[in-house]
Amino acid sequence: MRTLIRGVAAATVDDEIGDLDDTDILVDDGVISRIEPGLVVDADEVIDGRGMIAIPGMVDTHRHTWQTALRGILADGNIPDYLRGIRLQMAPRYTADDMYAGNYVGALDALNSGVTTLVDYCHNILDPECAHAAVGGLRDAGVRALYAHGLTPILTNTWSQSRGGSSGGDPSDLETRAQLAEEIRSEYFASDDQLLRFGIAPQELAIAPIDDVVREFRLARDLGARITIHANQVMVRQLFKDVEVMHRHGLLADDLLLVHCTFNTADEWAMLEGTGVTVSVCAETEMQMGMGYPAISETTRHTPGPSLGIDCVSGNSGDMISHSRLVLQASRYRADEPGYARWLAPQVMSWTTRDALRWATINGARAAGIDHLVGSLTPGKRADIVLVDMRGVSQAGWNRADPTGAVISQANAGCVDTVLVDGRVVKRRGVLTHVDPSAAVRRLEESHDRLYGEMRRHGGFIPQPPIDIPLYRERA
């Protein structure tokens, strides 16, 4: 199959190619083969790119996709609300059908918004059926994804029991959870030559003893799985120092994606240098839920570079373009803030739209372990391509000399016109084409209605009086 995109501006995120104001992109059998103006070639399909900007498919390096049916329920919630409402009240009430619907429609939401790769942090595996359903949802949606199989035993080891992993042990059998992880790995991820790849999300150090987490890291590496884990996102008097603990136990390596790291100490940032560990910054969740300030500056200085995660769609939207803009402006403010205290106006722009697009594309691909495949519009890479429509009233007049700046500063998910994954068109003229969107919405609404019914029967989203969380009562 040969596809030709004609007359498009391009923000390639390739330092050698740069930005192009009027070019053609040729895709041969799922691979970007040429990017240059005026191509004279035969093609099976020609896409008119005039008035649009081509960008690499964006990469969301941290999303709890299973929460899609609870979209927005946490719009005004903080971490204790999340733990009580999502993790303790709603998560145990999920069925395999709910997991499938959440992952299927959540992945379609990603594609619809121009996110072609997800790191699906799937930490709600109540039973084997839930795991199979979660993978099935991603597969049927046609998204590129790193499925991070959660090892938290939902029903027996919870935040309501947590004292920071400092006492007690994992009350469930790791051997049972390991057997399921191996089963999922062998059934769905036999080859790396596919859209879906296998990962492991170990238990958080805030709720599990380090000896258990070490065994889970070992399991992941025995299975050849990339690893992703929440780290240092909880503000308490006695810092957990997750990175320091992982460093002491030899767990830091380039197959590890940490999430948040908003409360890393200076020593912990230094420990990450040279390890190849990457960090997902989830600004909307972090600033809303009391997880601290997004650590773009620190991650840039001490790691291969920050990537971005949408995190909890139960709180915020999946619009990665708008999220990138928010992170950019928040990072600019933080860089300028010390000068304000001395009545000094900033003279230099600290962060650029080019930085922001890299966070959402090539840096995310590196964090997912696939930057050799995607993340930039580079000939030889797989054709994950997004066309952003700049012809609307709200985008007209955009700066043709700076496609990158135009996308980050002026566009949003509603501007995503066309999406290709691995060279296959999955969205055309603003509509998903490879699925029945109405049927997908009906399936998610059925899950939504069932979950809300369960919620009402069991005392609401946060039953009163609130469940005690020792971690917060004793340390906050």
Helix, strand, coil proportions of the chain in percent (round to 5)?
40, 20, 40
pTM of the entire structure? 0.96
Map residue 265 onto helix, strand or coil.
coil
Share of the chain above pLDDT 70, in %: 95
Mean pLDDT of 309-337: 97
pLDDT band at 170 (very low <50, low <70, confident <90, very high): very low
- pLDDT computed for residue 172 by the predictor: 63
Note the pLDDT tens digit of each residue in 241-280: 999 999 999 999 999 999 999 999 999 999 999 999 999 9
- Hey, how many other C-beta atoms are within 10 angstroms of the C-beta on 32? 26
pLDDT band at 192 (very low <50, low <70, confident <90, very high): confident
Is 361 in contact with 385 (CB distance < 8 Å)? no
Note the pLDDT tens digit of each residue in 32-69: 999 999 999 999 999 999 999 999 999 999 999 999 99
Note the pLDDT tens digit of each residue in 420-462: 999 999 999 999 999 999 999 999 999 999 999 999 999 999 9
Is 32 in contact with 12 (CB distance < 8 Å)? no
Position 166 pLDDT exceeds 70: no
Is 41 in contact with 4 (CB distance < 8 Å)? yes
Note the pLDDT tens digit of each residue in 389-413: 999 999 999 999 999 999 999 999 9
- pLDDT computed for residue 163 by the predictor: 60
Which has the higher per-residue pLDDT, 139 or 238? Answer: 139
Radius of gyration over every alpha carbon of the chain, rounded to an integer in angstroms: 22
pLDDT band at 470 (very low <50, low <70, confident <90, very high): confident
- pLDDT computed for residue 237 by the predictor: 53
- pLDDT computed for residue 255 by the predictor: 98
Note the pLDDT tens digit of each residue in 102-127: 999 999 999 999 999 999 999 999 99
**Cα separation, 60 vs 194, whole angstroms:** 18
Is 233 in contact with 260 (CB distance < 8 Å)? yes
Q: What is the rounded average pLDDT for all residues in the chain?
A: 94
Position 171 pLDDT exceeds 50: no
- pLDDT computed for residue 468 by the predictor: 85
Share of the chain above pLDDT 90, in %: 89
- pLDDT computed for residue 161 by the predictor: 67
| Helix residue ranges, H only, 303-436 | 320-341, 353-360, 362-367, 403-410
